[in-house]
Amino acid sequence: MNLIGIVGTNADSSTNRKLLQFMKQHFAPSATITICEIADIPAFNEPDDKTAPLEVKLLSEKITASDGVIIATPEYDHSIPAALKSVLEWLSYTTRPLIEKPVMIVGASHGSLGTSRAQTHLRQILDAPELKARILPGSEFFLGRSLEAFDETPTLLNQDKVVELEGDFAEFLSFADMTNEISKKNPEQAASKRKFAWENVNGGVAK
């Protein structure tokens, strides 16, 4: 299975990047995970012609070609980073590659809560009409105290968390297979969702 792992921050140093790097090497026998950075994607600026910048187009192509997406998000002020929100706004307003796409959310934080509030917010965002991702239900991977969680390779040191992540990832692979099979049988469903426009809802909304 071919998956995309999105580092949900533009920070130079991130334990969420390390988490995806660990997942890439640990789960190599069952999936190929391509890690995508968002640091070079410009801040969202709503274009009148709905044209995406090249960086957004390239990320969209990778998402579309993948079997699923893993988003690793930090938590800033009880929510996701502004850089990740900006990327999602680009994707929703222009190319919409996440519609019907299987998504797994993970997160690492320096504190003890492991991005629990950010992940809840991210689930709400991904359910927006212009995104409508298929989010893995019932499984939430929170990694707290992440500064001490990895060695230099980076390997996740807490074996209980490794076992937990293995279980969540196995569930995601099954979920992605099922979701993609359903999408193949009902291509018109995703096509219909990509045509969504707020202008057609209750007479439209003001900019």
Confidence of residue 73 (pLDDT cuts 50, 70, 90): very high
Taking Cα atoms as reference points, which of 47, 49, 31, 39 lies closest to residue 6? Answer: 39
| pLDDT(91) > 90 | yes
**Structure confidence by residue, pLDDT tens digits, 36-58:** 999 999 999 998 888 999 999 99
The pLDDT of residue 204: 52
pTM over 0.85: yes
Confidence of residue 113 (pLDDT cuts 50, 70, 90): confident
Q: Which domains does the chain have, with CATH numbers?
A: 2-200 (3.40.50.360)
Q: Provide the mean pLDDT of the chain.
A: 94
- Identity of the residue numbered 111: G
Rounded-to-integer distance, Cα 86 and Cα 139, Å: 25
Contact call for residues 97 and 134 (beta carbons, < 8 A): no
- Give Cβ neighbours of residue 81 (< 8 Å, ≥ 6 apart): 8, 9, 10, 11, 73, 74
Taking Cα atoms as reference points, which of 29, 51, 33 lies closest to residue 42? Answer: 51
**Structure confidence by residue, pLDDT tens digits, 134-191:** 999 988 899 999 999 999 999 999 999 999 999 999 999 999 999 999 999 888 877 7
| pLDDT(203) > 90 | no
Rounded-to-integer distance, Cα 133 and Cα 103, Å: 7
